[in-house]
Homo-oligomer: A and B are copies of this chain.
């Protein structure tokens, strides 16, 4: 690691019925299923304060992504003109970090059930943050 490269580490893993990137929904609001966030034992102290019903942002490491991609056809549809990856939510990008807004449905120890997560089974979790709502806004990260 120099000052342009940094190491992130897994704090947990996604358990999901989704196993195939081609057939998975592209966004959580596109009928993604419920899934489990299963946290590693050494970060449990950091989860205190999260409750059922909370909306949270889950950051994941999209480990099946192609990191050498800078231009894509949006939604993997070749009839869509190519765009820069940073103007899309493509998983293929230099730093394939997924940002997913989900609702915590239930908590059982270190297993958190969440609604509408499009991440694939086995995807490493990097971080969880509360969704903040600035004054006057309906919703924002």
List the interface of chain A (C-beta within 8 A of B): 1, 3-11, 27, 29, 43, 45-50, 54, 56-57, 59, 61, 63, 70-71, 83-89, 93-95, 97, 99-101, 124, 126-130, 132, 134-135, 137-141
CB-based contact B6/A87 at 8 Å = no
CB-based contact A99/B129 at 8 Å = yes
CB distance from A103 to the nearest CB of B (A): 12
Please, how many angstroms separate the alpha-carbon atoms of A89 and B130 in the complex?
A: 7
CB-based contact B127/A93 at 8 Å = yes
Asked if A95 meets B135 with Cβ closer than 8 Å, knowing A45-B70, A83-B48, the reply is: no
Of B84, B101, B134, which one neighbours A45 at CB under 8 angstroms? Answer: B84
